[in-house]
Amino acid sequence: MRSVIIGTGIGVPANIVTNEALSQLMDTSDEWIRVRSGIRERRYADPGQSSSDLGVIAAAQAIAQAGLTPADIDAVIFATMTPDRLLPGNGPLLQKGLGLRDIPTFDIRQQCSGFLYGLELADLFIQSGRYRRVLLVGAEVHTPFMPWHLGWDTLIGQSTREITEAERAENTLTRDRTVLFGDGAGAAVIEGREGEEGLRLIRLHTDGSGADVLTMHGAGFKRRPFVTHQQIDDGETLPFMAGKEVFRSAVTLMPQAVREVCEASGITVDSLDLVLVHQANLRIIEGVQKALGLPPEKVPHNVERFGNTTAATLPILLHECLTDGLIRPGMNLVFTALGSGLHWGAALYRT
Ligand code: UT7
């Protein structure tokens, strides 16, 4: 029995926000963002549109593409670092939104590695015989982290109000992070099937000594109370990122993880047909590709259109590659990701 991805879907908001549009709100430029990250545009959810809302759209498409109905799903795994609420998690909200049966829903929070960790759980559920069809969703709405109350209305064309100098200065304080992230969701329906197709091997890693390089200090239960006005004023309810350190870890550990799954499976890196890398930064994706000695066409990317959508990057990319005909039967495919935790790993999948 193997875990086979039998349907995929995406839920991306309609609002396309270009680098030029962001330059109206803060001191940044299309050139800086493109040269440093490869990103040209990203999607922003409408106010009130949440990660579970986008997850429902992606999941509905994945279920339909699999030729199933919501009643056919046996368990849900929802990966997000931007849930609608602190409690409950997004699982029950998705269950209600999709009209799923009374089935277990699991919320996981491995940030950029959420989809990989979800794949591991889905595979274990299926291999154990506990659940036959698992719906795996990765969805994020990062915009509420961003100080877009200072210009959001202008950005989405609902106002022609000029941004004040003070607003511009405040928006600029977080420009190293805000320009990189976008909103979106991707989903996959995974079913246990006999045959050659399916997941072959996953290797996951965690290094808690890297917990401080990409983190959010505020709104956490180490503090009493767990959130204060002071934390908000001090910017502690926004993620902190030591960009260069995360970058170095990403270009080192993702190639290592890809090699690890290849070696453990007795195949060479050269024999991989496609490597789907977490879409954080085009320079990281190209770094992984070069470290593995693969030609660029084997490492597709869409970060230029969506930015970093954290747990959603891999399922969105997978869906696009399938839709574009890049994935054909009999291919060796690897998924790899690294993010806050640090969590990272790789999964080998035979199509
Ligand atoms: O999903 C996993 C999580 N995240 C990642 O994988 C991200 C990993 N890190 C990165 O992708 C890169 O480190 C960044 C894109 C975040 C930054 O690129 P960098 O080449 O490391 O730039 P930097 O942080 O060294 O900044 C260079 C300069 C700085 O100015 P000074 O100090 O040299 O005068 C920044 O203040 O660029 C400035 N800067 C900006 N300028 C215009 C930072 N952000 C911006 C901006 N627009 N948005």
Q: What is the pLDDT along the chain (351 residues), one digit of tens a residue?
A: 999 999 999 999 999 999 999 998 999 999 999 999 999 999 999 889 999 999 999 999 999 999 999 999 999 999 999 999 999 999 999 999 999 999 999 999 999 999 999 999 999 999 999 999 999 999 999 999 987 666 777 777 767 778 889 989 989 999 999 999 999 999 999 999 999 999 999 999 999 999 999 999 999 999 999 999 999 989 899 999 999 999 999 999 999 999 999 999 999 999 999 999 999 999 999 999 999 999 999 999 999 999 999 999 999 999 999 999 999 999 999 999 999 999 999 999 999
For the annotated catalytic residues, the residue numbers are 112, 278, 308
Q: Is the CB of 36 under 6 A from ligand 1?
A: yes
Site to substitute for ligand 1 among 247, 249, 285, 301, most atoms within 8 A of C-beta: 247
- 105/98 Cα distance (integer angstroms): 12
End-to-end C-alpha distance for the chain, whole angstroms: 14
**Complete domains list, the chain, with CATH:** 2-193 (3.40.47.10), 198-350 (3.40.47.10)
How far is Cα 24 from Cα 19, in angstroms, rounded to an integer? 9
Return the beta strands (E) in 264-342 as ranges: 274-277, 332-339
Give 176 Cα–ligand 1 centroid separation in angstroms.
5
- pTM (2 d.p.): 0.97
Two tokens at 60? 């509905």
Q: Please tell me if the CB atom of residue 243 comes closer than 6 angstroms to any atom of ligand 1.
A: yes
Strand partners, 256: none
Binding site membership of 25 for ligand 1 (Cβ less than 6 Å): no
Phi and psi based region of residue 310 (left: phi greater than 0; alpha: psi -120 to 50; beta: remaining): left
Nearest CA to ligand 1 atom 4: 280
Closest residue by Cα to residue 329 from 231, 229, 232, 195: 195
Ligand 1 centroid vs 15 CA: distance in angstroms? 24
State the chain's maximal CA–CA distance in angstroms. 62
| Cβ atoms < 10 Å from Cβ of 199 | 22
Calpha distance 242→177 (Å, rounded): 10
Question: Rounded to an integer, what distance in angstroms lies between the CA atom of residue 80 and that of residue 53?
Answer: 12
DSSP for residue 296? G
Cβ–ligand 1 contact at 281 (below 6 Å): yes
**Look-up of token digits 């277990």:** 104
Residue 120's contacts (CB-CB under 8 Å, 6 or more residues apart) are: 202, 204, 345, 347
- CA dist 330 and 252 (Å) reads 28
72-88 burial code (b ≥16 CB/10 A, e <16): bbbbbbbbbbbbbeeee
Of ligand 1's atoms, which has the minimum distance to the CA of residue 22? 48
